[in-house]
Structures are given as C-alpha cells and as structure tokens.
Amino acid sequence: MRMRLQHALLETGVAAGVLLEIEDGRITSARVDGQSRTFNGDPSPEHVRDPRLAGETGTTPGLTLPGFANCHSHAFHRALRGRTQQERGSFWTWREQMYAVAADLTPDTYFELARDTYAEMRATGITAVGEFHYLHHQPDGTPYDDPNEMGKALLAAADDAGIRIRLLDTCYLAAGFGRPPEGVQVRYSDGDAHAWAERVAAFDDPRVGAAIHSVRAVPRDQLPVVVEAARGLPLHVHVSEQVAENEACLAATGLTPTQLLAEAGALGAGTTAVHATHLTDDDIRLLGESRTNVCFCPTTERDLADGIGPARRLHDAGATLTLGSDSHAVIDMVEEMRAVEMHERLVTQQRGHWSALELLAAATYDGHRSLGFDDAGRIAPGQRADLVTIDLESIRTRGAGASAETAVFAATAADVLPPRAAR
C-alpha cells in the first residue's frame, strides 16, 4: 500500500510531500516525494483539500503524525464526564463519586463503557492506550469464574474499537498505610501481591503489563514482589498525585512515595510514574537518574485540582515525559500536550518551556515505548503504520501553517481527520 501525505512529521521534522510504503501494517519506506512537492506552492489546492479524493493514489491532506499513545486511562471514568462538577470538594470527594460507578460495573457494562471510550480515543487520533486496570473482582470481592474476566472485557473492547492496548493489570491491596481494603476496594484486591502475580501470570496474553496502584495501595513489604513479577513488562504506578498521599507515606515509612519505590527497585526506564505532581528535589533526582518515565495527565490534574507537576525539571533531570487522559474528563491528546506547556507558563510567567517537537515526542514515540510498544510512534521504516492526520484547513488551524506548532498549539481533537488506514 502506498500513501501520499501532504505534510508529515518525520524524524527530521515536518516535511511536505511524503510518500509512504506500507506492508502488513508496517512502514517499509518513508521519503520526501519530488512529485508531491509540486503541490506545495498552494497549500490547499482543490485536489488535496477534499478528503474523498485522497484515495490510495491521491494525497492525504493535512499534517500526518504518528498515532498518539494515551499512556494513562481508566476507561470507565468516562461515565463521570460532566457529572462531578456540581459540588465543591477535592480529589477525595471526587473519588467517592468515581467509586459509586465502580461499585456497579459488571463485565458487560465495563466492556461497553471501555468500547465507547476507546472509540472516542480512536476518533481523536489515539492509536495505543495504556489501561490502568484495577477493577478485578465481583462486588463482594469474590473472583469471577475466570478471575481475569474484567481484564478480558477491556481487551475485547480495545479489539472492538481497533486500538492497540497495554493492559496494566494493577495490584491494589490496601485502603492506605496499614488499612485493609474498604468498600468497593474489595473488588480491586487480590489479597496479597503473590496472588496478584499468580492471577496476572494466568492471564497469558501478550498485551498484559503491570501496575502498582500507589504506595497507599500496596504495602511496603509487597512492593518488591510486584516489581519482581513485573520484570520485563511495562510497570506503571500513581505517584504523589496528592499532598495527602505524600504526608501519609512519610508518616508511615519516613520516605516519600518516590523514595519508597526506589527502595523497592521499582524505578527505571521500563517504569512510568503517573502524575508525579508533588515532588521533592530528591524525588526529581531519583526519577531522573533512573530514567523513569513520568506520565502527566494535565487535563485530569486540573480537573481534579491535583496541582502542577515539575514537568520540565523532571525532563532536565533525565526522566522522559509521556501523556495520558486518565479520567477522560477530556479526551484530547493535543490539549494534553499543550497543557503541559501552558501550566508551566501559568506558574513561571515565562513561555517556551517545551518545544512542539518535544511535546509531540511525549505524545507519540516516548508514550508508545513506555507502554512496551517500541515499534510505534515514528513515521519511519520498520515502525507500525499507526497514523493521525490533523486538518490544516479547519476554522482553528486555517492559516496557522503546516508546522508542529500548529498541531500542538492551534489544533484540537476535533481537528483530527478520520483515520485513513481504518477505511
């Protein structure tokens, strides 16, 4: 299969007139095409403007990027959209509303919610998702006949929506330091980390990865068990989203959550620290030196009043930024990219902390890698042909130019054109 792209983000930057050769879903050749270059004088000639004319031998208009990797998803939270905005409160009062949804889910409704959420992701250019999955058991805590039935519902939903998934099967054992699971949390708990590891081992699907919910939810002595069982798999963990979590951790262990994870051997290039909002200088050093990924979820972090994490300082210390839509109050990877930069602007009164290309790397290649998909996220030979095309002629993008800056700072999810590869 051959695709002509009006503009595309290659490893060297945005190029005009790109010719892709694709075989079995993989890019075999990506080169700037002399013939297509003749279209560039007029950025929107009629023969490339009309998507219906952009057939296999035509030109895909717009700016084509590697598909986005949404590295932190709780698919069922989509049911809360628009429904948690009436009262005053905090992350913790929001969590009560979220738990009420979690309490009622069945494998069928979990599947349906996830299918619709993943379909929304696909429509907005997300081609891979990391699903942070902790809703394992029946409402009374009893495993389903197949103890991985809920996880399998998510895999089926991803298949249905046509999205690549890393199912981050999450260990969740405690309500807090020294506190057994409470209420709906019995659905999350496998009892101990060994039982969690056994269930995950029985899953037997190459798409399964691992997660520690948080240092609140996995006792200190069980963290190394999870780390050992997760060896070779992507390992994700919520870290310091809330000040209260830090305070409880310090009180119980004398360590920050990051220090506790470092002690357990949990940090490293295969690990992703999600949120990483309220960090000490030493936390930043530990995450950076270990080359841990840090998954920021800015639209959720502002919706849940988490705060603004030190994204750039983490990057400069050696950590790798990735992005997620988390609670799905919004599903828009463009907005996630932009918000990382915007939040830093708001607190520093300076512009230009992140370049558009750096933010695109977070949303594409680095995100894929943090999910264990090393062969996606670039438009380059050998990479999967997971693509997203940004309309450069929408009311928002028109006139802004065929640039990485337009994709990150002018576009929104609504400017993602329908996926060609799926047609």
Contact (CB, 8 A) for 190 and 151: no
Is residue 87 close enough to count as binding a copy of itself by CB under 8 A? yes
Site for a copy of itself in 225-254 (CB under 8 A): 242-243
Q: Least distance in Å: CB of 58 to a copy of itself?
A: 26
The yes or no reply on residue 162 touching a copy of itself (CB under 8 A) is no
Under the binding rule (CB under 8 A), the answer on residue 16 touching a copy of itself is: no
| Cα–Cα distance, 342 to 335 (Å, whole number) | 10
Q: Confirm or reject binding of residue 13 to a copy of itself (CB under 8 A).
A: no
Q: Which of 342, 380, 419, 421 binds a copy of itself (CB under 8 A)?
A: 342
Tell me: does residue 100 bind a copy of itself (CB under 8 A). Answer: no
Of 29 and 280, nearer to a copy of itself (C-beta) is 280
Q: Is 16 exposed, middle or buried (0-12, 13-18, 19+ CB in 10 A)?
A: middle
Q: Are 107 and 168 in contact (CB under 8 A)?
A: no
Q: Is residue 391 a contact residue for a copy of itself (CB under 8 A)? A: no
Residue from 4, 49, 78, 164 that binds a copy of itself (CB under 8 A)?
78
Asked whether position 124 contacts a copy of itself by CB under 8 A, the answer is yes
Region of 336 (left: φ > 0; alpha: ψ -120 to 50; beta: rest) is alpha
> Least distance in Å: CB of 216 to a copy of itself?
17
Task: State which of residues 308, 334, 340, 360 lies at the interface with a copy of itself (CB under 8 A).
Answer: 308
Query: Exactly one of 212, 223, 331, 334 binds a copy of itself (CB under 8 A); which one?
Result: 331
Q: Give the binding range for a copy of itself (CB under 8 A) out of 69-77, 191-199, 319-327, 340-348.
A: 340-348
Q: Which stretch binds a copy of itself (CB under 8 A): 20-28, 113-121, 132-140, 368-376?
A: 113-121
Cα distance between residue 99 and residue 107, in whole Å: 16
Please provide the size of the chain in residues: 423
**Does 44 interact with a copy of itself (rule: CB under 8 A)?**
no
**Bridge partners of residue 384, in order along the sequence:** 26
**Should residue 93 be labelled a site residue for a copy of itself when binding is judged by CB under 8 A?**
yes
- Of the residues 44, 109, 138, 412, which one makes contact with a copy of itself according to CB under 8 A: 412
> Annotated catalytic, 205?
no
Of 310, 304, 297, 388, nearest to 347 (Cα)? Answer: 310
Q: Which of 235, 248, 408, 417 binds a copy of itself (CB under 8 A)?
A: 408
Cβ(169)–Cβ(197) below 8 Å? no
Distance CA 338, CA 342 (A): 6
CA dist list (Å): 365 to 95, 116, 117, 210, 299: 31, 25, 22, 20, 20
- Minimum distance from CB of 241 to a copy of itself (Å)? 11
Nearest residue to 124 (alpha-carbon basis) of 416, 422, 397, 419: 416
Q: Find out whether 390 and 63 touch, Cβ atoms under 8 Å.
A: yes
Q: Residue 333: which of 304, 306, 361, 313 has the closest Cα?
A: 361
| DSSP H or E segment with residue 104 | helix 91-104
Of the residues 7, 236, 275, 343, which is catalytic? 275
The single residue among 175, 250, 252, 400 that binds a copy of itself, judged by CB under 8 A, is 400
Active-site annotation holder among 283, 326, 332, 386 = 326
- Beta-carbon contacts of 260 under 8 Å, excluding residues fewer than 6 positions away, are 215, 220, 223, 249, 253
State the minimum distance, in angstroms, from the CB of residue 298 to a copy of itself. Answer: 9
Q: In this chain, which of 13, 289, 345, 374 binds a copy of itself, going by CB under 8 A?
A: 345
Gap between the terminal Cα atoms of the chain: 13
Q: Is 268 in the site for a copy of itself (CB under 8 A)?
A: no
Answer yes or no whether residue 336 interacts with a copy of itself by CB under 8 A: no
Rounded Cα gap, residues 309 and 278, in angstroms: 6
Span from 81-89, 146-154, 189-197, 372-380 in contact with a copy of itself (CB under 8 A): 81-89
Q: Please, are residues 407 and 63 in contact by the beta-carbon 8 Å criterion?
A: yes
Query: What's the closest the beta carbon of residue 362 comes to a copy of itself, in angstroms?
Result: 16
| Single residue of 86, 140, 254, 422 touching a copy of itself by CB under 8 A | 86
Residue with tokens 């991803």: 158
The answer to whether 326 is a known catalytic residue is: yes
The β-bridge partners of 193 are none
Which stretch, 78-86, 154-162, 229-237, 311-319, contacts a copy of itself (CB under 8 A)? 78-86
| Residues 51, 162: Cα–Cα separation, whole Å | 21
Active site residues: 275, 326
Task: Give contact residues for a copy of itself (rule: CB under 8 A).
Answer: 78-79, 81-83, 85-91, 93-94, 116, 119-120, 123-124, 242-243, 301-308, 329-332, 342-343, 345-346, 348-353, 355-356, 395-401, 403, 405-406, 408-410, 412-414
